[in-house]
A and B are shown apart, each in its own frame.
Chain A
């Protein structure tokens, strides 16, 4: 039976798999809502607009409630005139104006939720200050919705190119074997759920653009590319996925560059839409600092010559593969990928290598408090392609299939347990040591 459901054939198991795959996003959504209510009704976390979530959010009350692009009004209203240090919103020394380390993309994506919250607030006579009940949960639920939208895109891609069983196993692995569910529910006000959605959309639109270019696809690709950059600037590197699509050699790269030249009108219009999309951010930087491009983190920066590569990939503090070991399958997937997944191999390998180097070179390579390494959460749609490629390879080999299924089940279970430990404040939010990890292993108090 296992073989037939992995192949998606019409046995009873196959039908169950097909049904579970069709309902995967809805079921995950129900579970996510249940967890969300538990987190906030059970006081496991402070209100959703907290930590980094504050600086991604403050644009909305500033623009829409106070009609102010300088953030001065919201500083006065939220914080008595000065943003606290944890927000990373600082006064630019030369001009005395506020510069937010976090860009505007998340606020743009969240805007419809904010407007709905504002109308509800007015209707129910709650304080329309941008931080009361409905605004808080509009922020929290907006991240949850984008997490589900990202999952829906990944599901659509996987269903089209892999057997149902492989697609379902990959989605379950991605959602519960990594920190994706955590960043879609617990820390949903951070940018990671949004970037996960945007990178998934970038992959889907790149695929569509190369296989059948149409104007709506061109415009959507340009808009998504702009939002990728507006939500997290270093993610600009993922735009390399577009020219590197289906490139396995230098000759393929020339073929793609030639094809881009043939489609130069679409490329030009896409570039204009992209620049128009990122322009408001550049204008905000210019208004605050007098410069079009700034390091919004001020003096904080990168240590390019001493990247913490082992730390970000394998350490007990925040190592990607330590906290999400199931992603090791994606490395094997890069080797055994066939068909559609192969088209992404060079682009994904290059962008993930670049991303790892950038993350490892950031002065705070642990990215502060987080469950697992949140720097990589944005890229999980890319990992999904190669986890699926590996599962597809294993599905054809009975011995490997059983072993892979057992290891994946264990890794996903461990990840869920550790996520709950983090929610219950058992696991430290940063700087976990090996001794702490061993002492707290599988303990809930």
Chain B
């Protein structure tokens, strides 16, 4: 289950990604302790400024990432805060500070890599 993400695509180097809208959400297993998320701002930010992506987990702010280079993937590694939850999955929300065009394209997001306890 995801929200605000377009279908999977692949770039020329073979990296799989999805476009976000202004807000996008996906779910990770609740026992994951760390997440590495590839981000690429293919379309420039407002007036050439970086594209800002705010990341939250279950509604709690986790980080704000500025992405500048449209040609490069930025891989952000974030520790996932350990909170007691009865849910099997936790919601990761991305909020992008600008969108482009009628399809409201935000930023490209690659496949997240998760660390989980053994």
A131–B46 CA distance with the chains assembled, in angstroms: 24
Which of A122-130, A167-175, A277-285 contacts its partner? Answer: A122-130
B102 adjacent to A132 (CB under 8 Å): no
A81 within 8 A of B: yes
Chain A binding surface SS class: loop
A241–B59 CA distance with the chains assembled, in angstroms: 51
Interface string of B90-118 (1 = CB under 8 A from A): 01010111110110101000000000000
B22 within 8 A of A: yes
Residues of chain A within 8 A (CB-CB) of B23 are: 77-78, 127, 129, 131
A132 adjacent to B98 (CB under 8 Å): no
Of A78, A79, A127, the most chain B CB neighbours within 10 A belong to A127
A86–B102 CA distance with the chains assembled, in angstroms: 7
Residues of chain A within 8 A (CB-CB) of B22 are: 76-80
Residues of chain B within 8 A (CB-CB) of A132 are: 3-4, 25
A133 within 8 A of B: yes
A126 CB to closest chain B CB, in angstroms?
A: 7
A127–B46 CA distance with the chains assembled, in angstroms: 26
B4 adjacent to A80 (CB under 8 Å): no
B 1-48 contacts with A by CB, 8 A: 1, 3-4, 21-23, 25, 46
Of B25, B89, B104, the contact of A78 (CB 8 Å cutoff): B104
State whether A81 and B87 are in contact (beta carbons under 8 Å apart), knowing that A125-B58, A131-B3, A132-B3 are contacts in the complex: no
A85 within 8 A of B: yes
A439–B46 CA distance with the chains assembled, in angstroms: 46
B91 CB to closest chain A CB, in angstroms?
A: 5
Of B23, B89, B91, B98, the most chain A CB neighbours within 10 A belong to B23
The number of chain A residues touching the other chain, given as a range, is 10 to 19
A427–B87 CA distance with the chains assembled, in angstroms: 46
A84 within 8 A of B: yes
Question: A128 — nearest CB in chain B belongs to which residue?
Answer: B59
Residues of chain A within 8 A (CB-CB) of B95 are: 77
State whether A84 and B3 are in contact (beta carbons under 8 Å apart), knowing that A77-B22, A78-B23 are contacts in the complex: no
Of B3, B93, B98, the contact of A80 (CB 8 Å cutoff): B98
State whether A80 and B102 are in contact (beta carbons under 8 Å apart), knowing that A127-B93, A129-B23, A131-B4 are contacts in the complex: no
Which 3 A-B pairs have CB atoms at the shortest separation, nearest pair first?
A80-B99, A80-B98, A127-B25
Q: List 26 A-B contacts (CB under 8 A).
A: A76-B22, A77-B22, A77-B95, A78-B23, A78-B104, A79-B99, A79-B104, A80-B99, A81-B46, A82-B99, A84-B99, A84-B101, A84-B104, A125-B87, A125-B89, A127-B91, A127-B93, A129-B4, A129-B25, A131-B3, A131-B4, A131-B21, A132-B4, A132-B25, A133-B1, A133-B3
What residues of chain B have their CB less than 8 Å away from a CB belonging to chain A?
1, 3-4, 21-23, 25, 46, 58, 87, 89, 91, 93, 95-99, 101-102, 104, 106
Instruction: Identify 12 new A-B residue pairs, CB closer than 8 A, beyond the known A127-B23, A131-B4.
Output: A80-B96, A80-B99, A80-B106, A81-B98, A84-B99, A125-B58, A125-B91, A126-B1, A126-B3, A129-B25, A129-B93, A132-B4
